[in-house]
Amino acid sequence: MNARSLQACSALLSRSSTASRSGASTGSTRSTAGSRQEGGDVADSAQFTLYCFAQSGNCYKPALALQLAGADWTPRFVDYFKGETSTPAYREINAMGEAPVLEHRGLRLTQSGVILEYLAEALGRFGPSDAGERREVLRWLLWDNHKLTSYTATYRFLRTFINGTDESVMKFLRGRAETAWAVLNAHLSARRYVVADRLTIADLSLCGYLFFADEIGVDWSVYPGIRDWLERVRAEPRWVHPYELMPGHPLPGRA
């Protein structure tokens, strides 16, 4: 990511910091309506649509933010395993051919980190509270996408959904993933959450794939900092596992 991109991300996170402090999004109205609300904080009255599928941790990141905030949102199933993201129709939605995609109030956003930042602002939840937290959130979002999700997700995908993968490739990916897990575990060994004393979009990004422990083939008790942190996330009101929160599970032919 170049300097201009970093500056743009920092500016976006600055706006979410203001929204989190005020508890409301800029220029929007909060509503008590919402099909997924169970009391507590509420989301913007305009409904969110999230293009997603259950097997994707990247989709789970914004889906979990919407769920925990009690937002009024609708999942739109993306049939990734049948090639939908490669179709011309889907490329009209996202030229990158990826999920998730968020639609809200005429906006269409792609890339989970960008979507999380937008949701922090729109929901008035999970954003940084000051400039220092904003930098830390950005630091962990970048690290997650480059070091944690990149290797963990690829390793899990090949292990779970692809047969006959080269063992040397798997060994390489596993080693890189374990290095990232060790970094995160050390960071969490003396703190409850990644950035602040509360849940932020940094936590929601970093945990995206880690609830698929069985498919990754990892016992989080070996990483007690991660294990305890995931338990805290799991204890959040409205928390739901990705396979229950998003459509598309189980895959045809799989239990």
Of the candidates 243, 235, 183, the residue with the CA atom closest to the CA atom of residue 209:
243
pTM of the predicted structure, to 2 decimals: 0.83
pLDDT digits (tens, 9 = 90+) for 57-111: 999 999 999 999 999 999 999 999 999 999 999 999 999 999 999 999 999 999 9
pLDDT digits (tens, 9 = 90+) for 145-177: 999 999 999 999 999 999 878 999 999 999 999
Residue 200: strand, helix, or coil:
coil
Q: Work out the number of other CB atoms within 10 angstroms of the CB of residue 133.
A: 18
Top-tier CATH class for 131-239: mainly alpha
| Cβ neighbours of residue 39 closer than 8 Å, sequence gap 6 or more | 70
**Domain ranges, ordered by start, for the chain:** 3-123, 131-239
Top-tier CATH class for 3-123: alpha beta
| Cβ neighbours of residue 14 closer than 8 Å, sequence gap 6 or more | 131, 134
Label residue 31 by pLDDT band (50, 70, 90).
very low
Alpha helices in 39-166 (DSSP H): 57-68, 88-93, 112-123, 131-143, 149-161
Half-sphere exposure of 216 (CA within 13 A, CB side): 23
- Report how far residue 203's alpha carbon sits from residue 213's, in angstroms, rounded to the nearest whole number: 17
